[in-house]
Structure 1
């Protein structure tokens, strides 16, 4: 714990960076979306190149899947750079369908768990809310993208505040006698 308390300022810097990012995300949501798509494109491109390289180095059994994965990653990265608007919309649709499918799964699980646990209705309500969220994203994709960016911004600010508070608590840490 003493090591952590000596580097309390790292937590403080993380917190400040998160707050700055959150504020910028709220002020410039369009720019934030573009940066996120570019980061995704860079990640997909690099990941695709390395998967492709691994595909040519591995045995015949896993070679095809790695090569396919690498090609898809490279294509996804190129698409993100050439058509960032399309990429951001595709990301929104992935999130929407994920929310709908997991929501349905939670409703089904809640119904099946009715005989096993109490308060299963909370799982069902959570599933229904997830389905509604996904449907709203599909129905209003522009507003959905903006809402997701706002959520990211608010989350970053709250996370930053938590890191700053933690850094202050860790900085003021004094070991209790007899504690290791």
Structure 2
């Protein structure tokens, strides 16, 4: 196994470990806010989700550009961020959309994000220990997106709780990954 900092993607992640931590903390805060307000209106959910996914995209793009000189695969992180920002912008442009369309936005974002995370984990498998955390967060995104596609007519409260659970699991995995990357980067 190569040393952690000697590989481009691993070096970029080790320099930006705190961005992974920030993404995880934002996801956990989103989950907590959603659980504390289960009666939240669909309009509020749309705005909170839009803020979350837009912030996730900005942090993803920042991560991509901060490591682009040393990482030939920086564009994967950039695409991940751009998809998140695009979904955030679509959410703000159409705040009165139906619950079904919101579910499909969320499902598409989760599926695409999951694919990019799994790709990143596969690329990291020979570079670091703990890449499974990124792969597992990608799998969680894929499963969440697939469930949203399969049962789009689920009750609003069930959807809110499912979104919060997904964000919490994703956030915890990203926090764990950030500390693993930080530790290996030293």
Normalising by the residue count of structure 1, what TM-score does the alignment of the two structures yield? 0.40
| Larger proportion of helix | 1
Normalising by the residue count of structure 2, what TM-score does the alignment of the two structures yield? 0.39
